[in-house]
Structure 1
């Protein structure tokens, strides 16, 4: 019998080369929401950019400095400001002198149970990249692709030379992204997914999970999954009438790790808000939802 896969068993702190321009270092922060942990990417050769520096943990910072190996760091790029992605930007900037560049700062408190990492309240970028703006080094260019949905400030970064896209948490290699209101927005997420579907990237490098080598197929599948979930919600309301979100989660997420029920509930809420905006569902004063 095969030994069950345990994400915590994967080696952390080791520089793994993925292409001539791309390498990664896995942070030691596996969890039900980060899978094996946050993957920090190094892009370049003679000089490098660091994408999603990860949590501010001494072990991870030491591993990143060893991986950089004295090369000049052109930029420290953050896809978004959840605490498993951006906090190491500050100490890494202090150690390397590199500017923090990428997504806009964003801090807010969720109005329900946390569905993923909280926001990094101390994130202060030296430069915010707008959609299409780029950072370049010797033989590489990274262009920002605005992808709101998981968070309103989420960016992906396109490596022009490889037709590769660093997708942060917008598209992950192991699970669908958490969409948690009030900042997480299902309507924006689906628009962003459609945008990726129309691109010609040949590989995705997510912050969690392995590289995705048929990205358009995965995006189509993830969009289909969201449409199926939307259909489940509508059928539940049709069958049961006015309903509470925990009741929907109990039926629709059977077999899911109970630790993920909070995230599931936030995802259902995101779908309901989207359905409300499209005139298909409506909230009631007691927290339940009904069909329109």
Structure 2
């Protein structure tokens, strides 16, 4: 059992870990259950996948659910959302209207209130186009979905994910830390992060370092990047073999998605 499984965080958060660990989900998907102290209704963020009875656990352990929220559409976050919400008689809200149920899509800056619990919507595209984070002011927390992970760094899942919006979103998160609104990050995979500023600074520095490594690999491969060449299906793998030579090959598929996003970003920057 992971140390944060079933744990309480701040005064308003509880994590129920889905049993879907793998190289992409780390220990599994964190289903966040949020409740204002003394209130009866909860908000459930990312009810997750169907694996090994996770849906049944949520249905049996959680009583009055006021709202289901999705940080993005990937199945390990959203697979059971509609079935769970129908069972509990509540709505599902997400940025993408296709994943909403009996409710409107989320809007950037929107304030949500459920049985006294206050959340603010922060659209944070980058990992995917529909990625969204939630500010929990009462606990100074930011639920980051897959934009920030509890360990390692996230994948920019090209072509849905894009690097330009990713940089903008991490910078927006960082501003919330600098203004004192956010002090901790509650990710959708891995443990809670207490050093919010340090993590976000690392994310920006890491991605810029990777960009520099991709540019170096292009020079090593004698490839002058252009918008057309950025779409070459063979180039990302060749770059991965140079830049990620010291990384386990089981992660190269995910690395290739990020490299595709980096090549697209560099091609746009050079145009």
**1:237 counterpart = 2:218:** yes
Q: 2: CA distance between counterparts of 1:105 and 1:239?
A: 44
Deviation at residue 11 of structure 1 after TM alignment: 8.5
Pick aligned residue for 2:119 from 142, 147, 150: 142
What residue is the counterpart of 2:161 in the other structure?
184
Structural mapping, 1:107-122, within 5 Å: none
Cα offsets for 1:32-80 (capped at 9, x unmatched): 1001010101000421100011013461112212331x2x211000010
Count of residues in Structure 1 that have an aligned counterpart in Structure 2: 253
Pick aligned residue for 1:90 from 82, 96, 103: 82
What residue is the counterpart of 2:250 in the other structure?
259
Structural mapping, 1:271-286, within 5 Å: 271-279=262-270
Matched residue of 1:40: which SS? strand
Q: 1: CA distance between counterparts of 2:135 and 2:108?
A: 11
Q: 2: CA distance between counterparts of 1:28 and 1:192?
A: 29
Do the aligned partners of 2:93 and 2:100 also contact (CA within 8 Å) in 1? no
- TM-score, length of structure 2 as denominator length: 0.88
Q: 1: CA distance between counterparts of 2:95 and 2:253?
A: 26
Do the aligned partners of 1:105 and 1:153 also contact (CA within 8 Å) in 2? no
Matched residue of 2:247: which SS? coil
Q: 2: CA distance between counterparts of 1:10 and 1:155?
A: 25
Do the aligned partners of 1:134 and 1:141 also contact (CA within 8 Å) in 2? yes
Do the aligned partners of 1:143 and 1:159 also contact (CA within 8 Å) in 2? yes
Q: Which has the higher helix share?
A: 2
What residue is the counterpart of 2:46 in the other structure?
52
Cα offsets for 1:88-136 (capped at 9, x unmatched): 1111112110111122146xxxxxxxxxxxxxxxx34322110011221
Q: 2: CA distance between counterparts of 1:128 and 1:25?
A: 25
What residue is the counterpart of 2:65 in the other structure?
73
What residue is the counterpart of 2:56 in the other structure?
62
Q: 2: CA distance between counterparts of 1:190 and 1:206?
A: 18
What residue is the counterpart of 2:32 in the other structure?
41
Moved beyond 3 Å, runs of 4+? 9-12
Pick aligned residue for 1:196 from 154, 170, 173: 173
Matched residue of 1:74: which SS? strand
Cα offsets for 1:225-273 (capped at 9, x unmatched): 0111111111222233128322221121123221211111111111111
Structure 1 unmatched ranges of 5 or more: 1-8, 107-122, 281-292
Matched residue of 1:171: which SS? coil
Q: 1: CA distance between counterparts of 2:51 and 2:270?
A: 46
Q: 2: CA distance between counterparts of 1:142 and 1:63?
A: 25
Matched residue of 1:181: which SS? coil
- TM-score, length of structure 1 as denominator length: 0.82
What residue is the counterpart of 2:92 in the other structure?
100
What residue is the counterpart of 2:227 in the other structure?
none
Q: 2: CA distance between counterparts of 1:271 and 1:241?
A: 17
Matched residue of 1:142: which SS? strand
RMSD (Å), alpha carbons: 1.9
